[in-house]
């Protein structure tokens, strides 16, 4: 299994998985107890994955989603990317224990060190709120660049202050500066600005015992301005408590 460091330029800072480096060993346990494992696994349902395809998990952390993806779809080549070397050590260890060959690279979402048109799918879970405003736009641009024409971005993240939830604890959570910038409308506008087509929210739900709102997004990389390719919408299973925004039958490009 080839590992590589693809971060470029000088050392950069980032917000680690649990906010503080010393909390990393507890990250997997906390996410399991708060329902994040289920939420991540539902992200895979919105993708139509085919043997031989390549998938990238941006901000993969300790590798849970990338490993799950490889376990469910062994014929897909999966690469996880994260700037945190300690999280990558855990991810590689977990992959070894799970008996899957997933590659984990060190790097940042806004300077992906992969050639253009490298991946059929880009996934990302609970990473976007770790980025600064300008990094968000650059990240979408980079994702569009590395996606093959017709490839898909599937990502989920905490929703910003536009949930309509007036409970005190939710209002407090949304007042956090990194979530203020995570309103759905802003995320969709940023994807569109980066040239991703058909950016949409597919689903909304809650985690952490109903207190924290999350949203699932999808967008497509249509690289030719003349392309009339329709989006390849995927039928995914609905779970109780889900608010499904887009739910259309599959249709494929001819
Ligand atoms: C909350 S964790 C989520 C990890 C994983 N996706 C999951 O679902 O468990 C956020 C991750 O984003 C990573 N991260 C922070 N800044 C980043 C950046 N600029 N580019 C890529 N990943 C970044 C962190 O190191 C961390 O592992």
Q: What is the mean pLDDT of the chain?
A: 84
> 120 with 148: CB under 8 angstroms?
yes
- Which tens digits make up the pLDDT trace of 172-181? 666 676 777 8
User: In the prediction, which pLDDT does 222 show?
Assistant: 85
Structural domains of the chain, ranges and CATH numbers in brackets: 4-10+20-224+232-244 (3.40.50.150)
State the average pLDDT over residues 229-240.
Answer: 46
- pTM given for the model: 0.85
Burial class (CB in 10 A: 0-12, 13-18, 19+), 250: exposed
State the average pLDDT over residues 197-208.
Answer: 92
Nearest protein Cα to ligand 1, atom 8:
125
Residue 234 or 222, more confident: 222
Count CB atoms within 10 A of the CB of residue 248.
9
Q: What are phi and psi of 9, to 5 degrees?
A: 75, -165
- Which tens digits make up the pLDDT trace of 97-142? 999 999 999 999 999 999 999 999 999 999 999 999 899 999 999 9
Q: What is the Cβ-side half-sphere exposure of residue 224, based on CA atoms within 13 angstroms? A: 7
The contacts of residue 11 (CB under 8 Å, 6+ apart) are none
Assign 3-class secondary structure to 7-54: CCCCCCCCCCCCCCHHHHHHHHHHHHHCCHHHHHHHHHHCCCCCCCCE
State the average pLDDT over residues 208-218.
Answer: 89
- Which tens digits make up the pLDDT trace of 34-68? 888 999 999 999 999 999 999 999 999 999 999 99
CA separation, residue 46 to residues 38, 110, 154, 250 (Å):
14, 24, 7, 11
Residue 198 or 241, more confident: 198
The answer, yes or no, to whether residue 151 has pLDDT greater than 90, is yes
Residue whose CB lies within 8 A of the most ligand 1 atoms, among 38, 122, 127, 129, for a mutation test: 127
Tell me, in angstroms, the distance from the centre of ligand 1 to residue 60's CA.
Answer: 6
Tell me, in angstroms, the distance from the centre of ligand 1 to residue 224's CA.
Answer: 31
Tell me, in angstroms, the distance from the centre of ligand 1 to residue 81's CA.
Answer: 9
Residue 254 or 152, more confident: 152
Helices (H), the chain: 24-33, 36-45, 64-72, 85-98, 133-146, 168-174, 177-180, 184-193
> 66 with 41: CB under 8 angstroms?
no
Nearest protein Cα to ligand 1, atom 16:
14
The answer, yes or no, to whether residue 253 has pLDDT greater than 50, is no
CA distance 22 to 16: 9
Count CB atoms within 10 A of the CB of residue 13.
6
């Amino acid at each position: 299994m080839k590992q590589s460091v693809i971060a470029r330029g000088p050392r950069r800072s980032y917000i680690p998985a649990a906010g503080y480096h010393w909390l990393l060993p507890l990250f997997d346990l906390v996410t399991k107890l708060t329902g994040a494992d289920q939420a991540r696994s539902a992200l895979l349902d919105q993708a139509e994955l085919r043997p031989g395809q390549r998938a990238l998990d941006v901000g993969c952390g300790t590798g849970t989603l990338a490993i799950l993806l490889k376990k469910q779809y062994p014929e897909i080549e999966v690469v996880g990317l994260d700037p945190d070397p300690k999280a990558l050590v855990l991810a590689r260890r977990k992959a070894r224990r799970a008996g899957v060959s997933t590659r984990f690279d060190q790097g940042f979402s806004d300077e992906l060190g992969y050639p253009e048109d490298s991946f059929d799918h880009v996934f990302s879970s609970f990473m976007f709120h770790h980025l600064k405003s300008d990094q968000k736009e650059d990240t979408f641009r980079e994702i569009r660049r590395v996606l093959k024409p017709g490839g898909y971005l599937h990502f989920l993240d905490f929703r910003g202050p536009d949930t309509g939830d007036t409970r005190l604890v939710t209002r407090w959570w949304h007042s956090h500066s990194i979530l203020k910038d995570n309103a759905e409308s802003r995320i969709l506008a940023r994807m569109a600005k980066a040239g991703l087509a058909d950016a949409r929210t597919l689903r909304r739900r809650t985690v952490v015992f109903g207190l924290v709102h999350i949203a699932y997004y999808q967008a497509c990389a249509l690289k030719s301005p003349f392309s009339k390719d329709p989006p390849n919408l995927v039928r995914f299973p609905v779970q109780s408590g889900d608010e499904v925004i887009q739910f259309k039958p599959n249709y494929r490009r001819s």
